[in-house]
Amino acid sequence: MQNDEWRIAIRARVGLITDMTKKPIVVADPEIMSGEPCLAGTRVPVRALLDYIEGGDTLNEFLEQYPTGA
């Protein structure tokens, strides 16, 4: 590949990454869970996910506890 082709490929990949991040992942709404930061579209507090990770649990174990929320 020539340099211009690499630049286009990199821009395309960066574009995909930025497109994925346009929606918020964490939302703090005073009307949902009293404004506690939650995973977007759920009532699952971010603190719950962090507690699982800090406790050494896996993401799969977390998802088993919150099957419809995360």
Domain 23-70, what fold? Arc Repressor Mutant, subunit A (1.10.10)
Tell me the C-alpha distance between 14 and 16, whole Å: 5
pLDDT tens readout for residues 26-69: 999 999 999 999 999 899 999 999 999 999 999 899 989 887 65
Tokens of 5: 């082709």
User: In the prediction, which pLDDT does 22 show?
Assistant: 72
For the chain, which residues make up each domain, given as ranges? 23-70
Average pLDDT over residues 4-29: 65
Largest CA distance in the chain: 54
Write out the two tokens for 46.
């971010």
pLDDT over 80 at 5, yes or no: no
Q: Is the per-residue pLDDT at 12 higher than 60?
A: no
45: helix, coil or strand? strand
If we measure between CA atoms, which residue out of 22, 19, 45 comes closest to residue 34? 45
